[in-house]
A = this chain, B = another copy of it.
Amino acid sequence: MYVILVYDIKLDEKGKRVLPKVYKICKKYLIHIQNSVFEGELSKSQIFQLKRELSVHTRDDLDSIIVFSSREKRWLDKEFWALKDDATSNFL
């Protein structure tokens, strides 16, 4: 599956500790393409695992994570309208 993950962690006292954890977990599975946006190719079991790892830290009433997924990458075009990140350098 081709996955786009966007997060918005509420930056209260606890959130400041949640954010780096969420970032680190996302980086383990996906490529960082913008401030709080990640993308990449994951299997269904990897998606499940990512979701489980993130749920340990995120707070259901404060933090937002939205995951878009497509069976085929080619079904989705991507354009950089302004600043173009060199996403390839972020590969793990």
Judge if A70 is at the interface, Cβ distance under 8 Å: yes
Do residues B76 and A68 form an inter-chain contact, with CB atoms below 8 A?
yes
Total contacting residues, chain A, CB less than 8 A:
38
How close is A9's CB to chain B, nearest CB, in angstroms?
A: 9
Q: Which residues of A60-92 have CB atoms within 8 Å of chain B's CB atoms?
A: 60-72, 75-85
Seed contacts A8-B37, A58-B81, A64-B83; 13 additional CB < 8 Å A-B pairs: A7-B82, A54-B81, A59-B82, A64-B80, A65-B80, A66-B78, A66-B81, A68-B68, A68-B78, A71-B75, A72-B75, A75-B75, A75-B76
Binding site for B on A (CB under 8 A): 4, 6-8, 33-37, 51, 54-55, 58-72, 75-85
